Amino acid sequence: MLRDTHLKINLDTLIANLEIVQSHLSKKTEIGAVLKANAYGHGSKVIAKTLMAYGLSYFLVATLLEGIQLRNEDSRYQILIMGHTPDHLLEQAILKNLELTIFTYEQGLLIHQLAQKHKTTATVHIKIETGFNRLGFSVNEKLIPSILKLSLLKHLNIKGIFTHLALRNKNADENQFQVFQKVIRSLEEHNVEIPLKHVCDSIGMTLYPHMHMDMVRIGALLYGLQGEEKFIPGIQQILKMETKFSHIKILEEDSFISYGMRKEVKKGSRIGTLPFGYADGYPRALYKDGFVCVNGDFYPFAGVICMDQCMIDLGNANFESDDIVSIIDTNQLSISKLAKKVQTNKNEFVSSLAARLPRLYIRHKKPYLISYEMLGETHELY
Ligand SMILES: *Cc1c(COP(=O)(O)O)cnc(C)c1O
């Protein structure tokens, strides 16, 4: 391991989460695994490979580059770019066999023309605006004629149609779903049957079984991130973060610690220095009421967290330089609790974890792979 501070990602738990999600779905609903933002910081290459070995090969990303990254790993992956792909990049996506999201007639026509030029067929999903107001075809009198025209284009394969819930409340979500269903029905009346209709993300899937349709787009639940209120039993966080002490000293007098000397610690206390900081994606704001755990006990930060290092107040507890320090773990150190402390959500917290953190993957309860994203290297450990 080329750095003491690292993420530990449990692939056994990933698969266990996947099985729980599957058990809540009927046979006709498939899972699109959301791997955007480096699989929410968990490392999309290894997560994709693990899911593929388990038989799941439909991967959803946000951008063209994320799509190309996965395509370069394996030509068998089915990859959907859920975000906008600008016109000048559409050709790249088609040549890489990436599925595209469209929300205007002109995008569809251009994709058809580019696919024709390369004597191929491009696959698209049509995004419908039902109330989120981010991306999507507006639902108006032009919508159905536009989709009908697109459905006649020979080099365009309309594989999917989808929308995204704003998750405001049950009523508003249900309204969005009704708008979407009305579009589907109108298309069916014109004999246009789009095979993959999808609406739900993790929370939508948990709350609304009747909205599962042909596919659910699942990110958070696979990584074991869920809010307490929509609780699916058994889902567990798959990521931990650990480090070791870089230095421990006993203060010889009352002393101030770190930038701005904002924190005074009494003489005789032990101060542990740890080799991680906010550039690793750990929120700097946690210096106020965050803590780490060593041998089952919790210790607060002493002074502000620096870019690459931080100090903790060990009181009079004594540790060895080899003792393991837990930064992210379950219970008090769960992603859910830490995110709440800095008033953000779990997804933002994990997707901010930096590429400079080695990712150690556990499989069959043993260290299995180590990935250094900075070096583009992954090493098998058994
Ligand atoms: C990110 C995303 C998802 C996945 O959301 P989770 O809550 O992590 O399951 C699904 N659909 C779209 C359109 C997204 O952008």
The minimum-distance atom of ligand 1 relative to the CA of 162 is: 13
Q: Is the dihedral of CA 169, 63, 154, 88 positive or negative?
A: positive
Centroid of ligand 1 to alpha carbon of 197 (angstroms): 15
Query: Are 298 and 291 within 8 A, CB to CB?
Result: yes
Ligand 1 atom index nearest CA of 36: 1
Which one-letter amino acid corresponds to residue 224?
G
Distance 113 CA to ligand 1 centre (A): 30
Catalytic hit among 36, 127, 263, 346: 36
Q: Is 57 helix (H, G, I), strand (E, B) or coil?
A: coil
How many angstroms separate the alpha carbon of residue 201 from the centre of ligand 1?
5
**Helical pair 64-73 and 44-53, crossing angle rounded to 10 deg:** 50
Here the tokens at position 376 are 């583009």
CA dihedral 184, 121, 87, 43 (to 10 degrees): 80
- Ligand 1 atom nearest 205 alpha carbon: 9
99 burial type by CB count under 10 A (0-12 exposed, 13-18 middle, 19+ buried): buried
- Tell me which residues of the chain have a pLDDT lower than 70: 228-230
Is residue 259 annotated as a catalytic residue, yes or no?
yes
Which pLDDT does position 227 carry in this prediction? 75
Are the CB atoms for 59 and 77 separated by under 8 Å? yes
Total-model pTM:
0.96
Contact 68, 41 (CB under 8 A): no
* Among 259, 266, 267, 366, the one annotated catalytic: 259
- The binding-site residues of ligand 1, defined as CB within 6 angstroms of any ligand atom, are 34, 36, 82, 164, 201-203, 217-220, 347
Which ligand 1 atom sits closest to the C-alpha of 82? 13
DSSP assignment letter at 221: T
Which tokens hold the place of 214?
């042909």
Give distance in angstroms: CA of 245 to centre of ligand 1.
Answer: 37
Q: Which position has the token pair 């583009």?
A: 376
Q: Using most ligand atoms within 8 A of CB, pick from 14, 133, 217 the residue to mutate for ligand 1.
A: 217
Q: List % helix, strand, coil for the chain (3-state, nearest 5).
A: 35, 25, 40
Question: What is the CA(134)–ligand 1 centre distance, in A?
Answer: 13
